[in-house]
Amino acid sequence: MGRGLDMHYRIIDGAENMSIEEVIRLLRMTYWADKRSKEQIEKSMQNSSCYGVYLDDENKLVGFARVISDCATTYYLCDVIIDTEYQRRGLGTALVAHIESQPEYAGLRGILITRDAHALYRKFGFEVLNERVMVKSLNC
């Protein structure tokens, strides 16, 4: 359990420990996942390792992230979101630090795609690459 600006929070692991409705609420706050259907979100959670930031005092999920990995060479960190009401309180750093501390990702190449929050990810060794990252975009 941690403290972020007088908030008691805990990092939770596993999609089964999170309410799909709370995850949908968080993803609706994003520019990249706000149009995903409930079915897409459920399937993505079932096929990823999911992590959340939970405020016990408020009985509320305020952060979410997923990791997709082959567990041998690479992991993809995605859907990292902190509720806009709780941003800039260290919760994003705590969530990414928890994920980065997981032994299954040690020694693997980490990938993420984002147009913002670069300072957060630089703390964990991520660098912005230009002209090398390729993405085939789907409307999901």
**9 within 8 A of 91, measured Cβ to Cβ:** yes
In a domain, 130, yes or no: no
In a domain, 28, yes or no: yes
Task: Give tens-digit pLDDT for 86-124.
Answer: 999 999 999 999 999 999 999 999 999 888 888 899 999
Total tally of structural domains belonging to the chain: 1
Residue 17's pLDDT is 96
Could you tell me the pLDDT band of residue 1, with boundaries at 50, 70 and 90?
low
Residue 140's pLDDT is 45
Average pLDDT, the chain: 91
SS3 96: helix
Describe the strand order of the beta sheet including 109-111 as a list of residue ranges: 2-3, 8-13, 49-55, 60-69, 74-82, 109-111
**Mean pLDDT value across residues 10-18:** 97
Range of the domain at 94: 2-122
In a domain, 128, yes or no: no
Task: Give tens-digit pLDDT for 48-78.
Answer: 999 999 999 899 999 999 999 999 999 999 9
DSSP label of 27: H
In a domain, 112, yes or no: yes
Could you tell me the pLDDT band of residue 3, with boundaries at 50, 70 and 90?
low
Instruction: Give me the phi and psi of 3, to 5 degrees please.
Output: -130, 130
In a domain, 137, yes or no: no
Residue 98 CB contacts under 8 Å (≥ 6 apart), including other chains: 11, 51
- CATH number of the domain that residue 8 is part of: 3.40.630.30
Residue 36's pLDDT is 96
